[in-house]
Amino acid sequence: MKRVTAKIADLVFGGQTNAALSERVYRRIEQQQATSEIIVGWIQASAIVFFAVVYAISPKAFPPGTRFEPVPWTLGIYTVFTVLRIVLAYRGRLSRRFVAISTVVDITVLMLTIWSFHLQYQAPPALYLKAPTLMYVFILIALRTLRFEPIYVLIAGSCSAAGWLALFLYAALVSDVEAPVFTRSYVEYVTSYKILRGAEIDKILSILMVTAILTLTLVRARKLLVNCVAEEVVAADLARFFAPEVARQLRDAQIGPLAGQGVRCDAAILSIDLHGFTRISHDLTPTELIALLSEYHARLVPVIERHHGSIDKYIGDGILASFGAVAPSATYAADLCRAVEELTAAAGAWETERQKYGLPAPAIGMAGASGEVVFGTIGHETRLEYTVIGEVVNLAAKLEKHTKCEGVPVLLTRSTYALALAQGYRPQAAVEALPARSIEGVSDPIDLVALTERGPNPAPWASAEPSQG
């Protein structure tokens, strides 16, 4: 029986929300609610202007000698209250208590306006029971749904039902009609000042039913909202662990990522490393070590991303990036070379800055290679990772280590440099050809290119067809 009850409750109320929601989730929801209150305020202001214009241009059918017109007074007072409400909403000072009070005020103003009709038209109170103005309570109740908090819908609906009940009782007890005030005839009800109990009860029940339905809807919607906001916050945090292109793929994918999915593509791979980092790390506190890496990443990562590169992974003090793997590109080699030039300048400026302040300033080595790679998802279904795999990836890592042997900050394979030129790259750095270099872990010698200081000085063979390697 308990299980059946729980299933019915889940069906009706939309299941359970995520437990232990963070403060950030509630702050995001509060921001949405604050925006909703601004919208509510402007809707009410628009309604005031609309009613004022309609009242001004519509013909009046007041009895002779009428001195009291409640509508202008009501609109004036309500305008002042609405302006105050909008100002507080924009300043973020609209407290929950004030929202509750303003909800009661909205209904109270409407009910007092309806009540004043019999004074304005100098007729028995039963007159206002036939006023179509009652329909506006449903607008006021619906407005409270914009905040996604059921309590305010309940307040609006309860006040509306109680207000109409009070008007009904007042009309029944304070009547100038000498004959019986109640009738069972609908025709007599609509053509006289008689009161039909069933009609007024139907109005109260309609208000209560609409309130109950909207409240139930909001209970379900709010649970969905809380869960969605919580997942959005988590997704935003997780997206920081992926390249932006990967995050977009995950967001737009029709099917979730699966282990073993991959594609072959031509891409360029960049490997970056801090020289002497292991030795330096022994002399730094954990805080200083993390600060060093944070500065290092802050200087280099934006440059890579600016040139359409994607960070594949951080390996200690190393950075592995790809161009054209995550997001296919026809200029992946050119993008790599442009990025390397700017990275060299950024690394040099960072090293100089740290030396100026007497801080450890490790040199940065970089190497790039291009060719066919496999980009895809690896790992177990409980822990997946997007990455690039292939000989080119291994070669870039080995070339980065070889920069120490050559004593240069940047090495590229000759084929990558030539391909970059064919893709529109125009070098701004001095280029030195390093033919037939033996690389540790690579069986055959490879033709390399070293990029050094700035200055348009491309190698004489730069326009040649790219060779293998």
pLDDT (tens digit per residue) in 258-305: 455 678 899 999 999 999 888 888 888 888 899 899 999 999 999 999
Instruction: Please list, in sequence order, all residues whose beta carbon lies within 8 angstroms of the beta carbon of residue 232, skipping any fewer than 6 positions away.
Output: 28
Q: What is the pLDDT of residues 68-124, one digit of tens each?
A: 566 777 778 888 888 888 898 888 888 888 889 989 988 998 898 888 887 777 788
Mean pLDDT of 43-58: 78
Q: What is the pLDDT of residues 169-228, one digit of tens each?
A: 998 887 655 556 888 888 888 888 888 999 999 999 999 999 999 999 888 888 877 777
Given 205, 239, 273, which residue is the final one in a domain? Answer: 239
- How far is the C-alpha of 338 from the C-alpha of 425, rounded, in Å? 7
pLDDT of residue 281: 86
Q: Which CATH number do you get for residue 425?
A: 3.30.70.1230
Q: Is residue 464 part of a domain?
A: no
Letter string b/e over residues 344-360, b meaning 16 or more CB atoms within 10 A of that residue's CB: beebeebeeebeeeeeb
- How far is the C-alpha of 309 from the C-alpha of 343, rounded, in Å? 12
Pair 228, 83 in one domain = yes
pLDDT of residue 176: 56
The answer to whether 399 and 448 have CB atoms below 8 angstroms apart is yes
Q: How far is CA 99 from CA 94, 95, 453, in A?
A: 7, 6, 65
For the question of whether the overall pTM of this predicted structure is more than 0.85, the answer is no
Given 239, 272, 304, which residue is the final one in a domain? Answer: 239
Task: State the residue range of the domain holding 42.
Answer: 2-239
Residue type, 330: A
Given 210, 239, 268, which residue is the final one in a domain? Answer: 239
Pair 28, 159 in one domain = yes
Assigned token pair, 402: 């070889």
pLDDT range class, residue 4, cuts 50, 70, 90:
very low
From start to end of 236-355, where are the E strands? 262-274, 309-315, 318-323
Share above pLDDT 70 across residues of the chain, in percent, rounded to a whole number: 78
Pair 406, 318 in one domain = yes
Assigned token pair, 108: 């109270």
- How far is the C-alpha of 143 from the C-alpha of 413, rounded, in Å? 66
- How far is the C-alpha of 4 from the C-alpha of 46, rounded, in Å? 47
Q: Which residues pair with 376 in a beta bridge?
A: 262, 387
Q: Which of 188, 193, 204 has the alpha carbon at shortest distance from 123?
A: 193
- For the chain, how many structural domains are there in total? 2
